[in-house]
Structure 1
Amino acid sequence: MQKEVPNISIIIPVLNEEDYIQRVLGKIFDHSTTTRIKEILVVDGGSTDQTVSYAKKLGVPVISSPKGRARQMNLGAKKAQGKVLYFIHVDSLPPFGFDQKIIDSYTNGKKAGCFRLRFDTPSLFLGFFAWWTKINRPICRGGDQSLYVGKELFETLGGFDQSYKVYEDNEFIGRLYKRTSFKIINDYVVTSARRYMQKGMVRLQYHFAVIHLKHYLGKGPDTLYDYYRRNIAL
């Protein structure tokens, strides 16, 4: 019996990303190789720049949402019609044939997964941390690697926890690991190193490590956000 080939809904949360929205949408168009992408949904948290108009000019619908990436992604998932949800950050670019790779993984029984990570810089320091994304452990995951998940599984888990203003991807992926077999697809999402350039690579990586540690020690979303706000937020 032939396996059903699922449709994919791509969900991109944005807020004032006029410098990146056209690039990621263009890469999605150029790097898709199937007819199984049901829709691309840009979920806007109240942009005041040209993000929304740029997306619409490319023919992509924009959903208005309260600010907050977890809220935005949940709303996108609620509106999505595809059987597979693919969440990707606006400054991360999917590899060629990403849609077929997701379909292959999903139809082979892996109901959730991500790609490995590569930064858009030759930095050996960032390359070292990107290397660890090949390891299939929750500590090695992050939203910049993008995430696919079956919609039914997403809804069963209750989606992203909206009490998290940061770390929402990691928290949700942690629950995925407890529920299903998580797949690391052997190809790369290329993500921007812009925050590392702005904050300093070592400094920012240190602060991210502290947030991971705080979560591991049982600190809640308010504590994580307070640390992020004081040390990372621009």
Structure 2
Amino acid sequence: MIIPCLNEESNLKELIPYLMEYGEGLISEIIVADGGSEDNSLAIAGSLGAQTILSTVCNRANQLNLGSKYARGSILYFVHADTRPNKKFAKVILESIEKGKQVGCFRYKFDSDSSLLKVNSWFTRFNGPFAGGGDQTLFIKKSFFDSLEGFNESYCIMEDFELVRRIRQKSDFHVLPQEITVSARKYSSTNWVKVQLANLMAFSLFLLKVKPASIKSLYLNLLNQKK
């Protein structure tokens, strides 16, 4: 299990014990790949039993690839720090792999009662072009991930969709019916319409093969976030 991290100490305090409790003894390791946190993320992750790795590049694709290089297990599971997998996640993933589903993700719901976000999450059940975003988490056989040469590190944004696009060229991609829970914090810090427009803009530019750095700059400017 690999968690990319940047200043996520509060989430790691919850996520790592959660994964250990509900991993049902099936998790061989939890790797936190840090991009240069200025808080206590690394110290907290280590104290909770996770293996910590510091990436020299603050880029999620680089961090995830670095974590995969240290992974010893035959199945990789990439999870964002503000995500809480289904309590049966480990068993479900293992059963899916045993049934021949070598790669896939979960549908999700938000940790919010917002009706608009319930609409958003409803669409994550479909295995269409928008499936496979990082918030849905990703499980994949390590041998298959290695054959794809991992995430494309030139993507500082949309690295998840770029990988899934290559996955679909070589394998079936699966969206499992179980729900995981993702944070609504991005919506809480701005508004639903602005985030939707930013997401649509980023995905459209990705399909048009615009340079990732340009997509990221426009995305952050639209959300009034720092780089």
**Do the structures match in fold with TM over 0.5?**
yes
Match of 1:42 in 2: 32
Match for residue 101 of structure 2?
A: 110
State the secondary structure of the residue aligned to 1:38. coil
Superposed CA deviations along residues 132-180 of structure 1, whole A, max 9, x for unmatched, are 1110123233100100011111111111111111111111111112211
Q: Distance in 1 between matches of 2:109 and 2:167?
A: 23
Q: CA deviation at 1:226?
A: 2.1
**How far off its partner does 1:30 sit?**
2.1
Q: Which residue pairs with 1:201 in the alignment?
A: 192
Q: CA deviation at 1:229?
A: 2.9
Give the residue type in structure 2 aligned to 1:197: S
Q: Secondary structure at the match of 1:205?
A: helix
Give the total of aligned pairs.
Answer: 224
Is 1:97 the equivalent of 2:88?
Answer: yes
Structure 2 residue 177 is the aligned partner of structure 1 residue 183: no
Structure 1 counterpart of 2:44: 54
Matched letter for residue 106 of structure 2: F
Structure 2 unaligned blocks of 5 or more = none
Task: Give me the CA root mean square deviation.
Answer: 1.2
Q: How big is each residue's C-alpha offset from its partner over 1:53-97, in whole Å with a ceiling of 9 and x where there is no partner?
A: 111111111111121110000000011111010000000001111
- 1:213-228 matches, within 5 Å, as 213-228=204-219
**Counterpart pick for 1:80 among 67, 71, 74:** 71
Aligned to 2:13: 22
Secondary structure at the aligned position of 1:102 is classed as helix
Q: CA deviation at 1:129?
A: 1.2
Q: Distance in 2 between matches of 1:229 and 1:121?
A: 23
- Mark the CA change 1:30 to 1:36 in structure 2 (over 3 Å): closer, same or farther: closer
Of 33, 55, 70, which residue of structure 2 is paired with 1:65?
A: 55
Distance in structure 2 (CA, Å) of the matches to 1:217 and 1:60: 39
Separation of aligned partners in 1, 2:113 and 2:211: 35
In the superposition, the TM-score normalised over structure 1's length comes to 0.92
Is 1:122 paired with 2:143?
A: no
Q: Aligned pair 1:158/2:149, yes or no?
A: yes
Residue 46 of structure 1: CA displacement?
1.0
Task: Provide the secondary structure at the position in 2 that maps to 1:12.
Answer: strand
Deviations 1:18-70 (A, max 9, x none): 1211111122122222x321111011111111111111111111111121110
